Amino acid sequence: MTTPVLLTTMELDAEHQRINDINTDMDSLLEKRSKINTFQNISLKALLANTSNATIDVFKELVEVMFKKRRFRYQEKFNWWSRYNAIGTDIHEIFKVENRYIYFGFFLILLAFLLNFLDMLG
């Protein structure tokens, strides 16, 4: 067994300063990371890439949710809304992942502009 070593005041202050420096560095890194990952600070190319990825993921998961076999107890068969409640809950869970609300909403806005443009041409 090793015996505990007592530190002098200067050594303890040096360790404390080293811990403070590490905390300061970590705080600055976390702040930089949060600034980079915010929605306002991404480029247009990254916005379109994230929109397309989120839209593809949402559509894949929506297809899975719609065709998922659901089993209900006999008592729940009399509550016609329980099936729709389960589907709505699953759809809400799909959109809660990361920033899918923002990116899928952006896709819907682009789709509305495209349909409006096509309507004006016709």
**Predicted confidence (pLDDT) per residue in 73-116, tens digit:** 666 667 777 778 888 888 898 888 878 888 888 999 999 999 99
| pLDDT score of 110 | 93
Eight-state DSSP code of residue 97: S
For 76, residues 6+ apart whose C-beta sits below 8 A from its C-beta are: 82
Cα radius of gyration rounded to whole Å, the chain? 26
Does residue 102 contact residue 110 with C-beta atoms inside 8 Å? no
Q: Is the pTM of this model over 0.85?
A: no
CA atoms of 118 and 80, how far apart (whole Å): 39
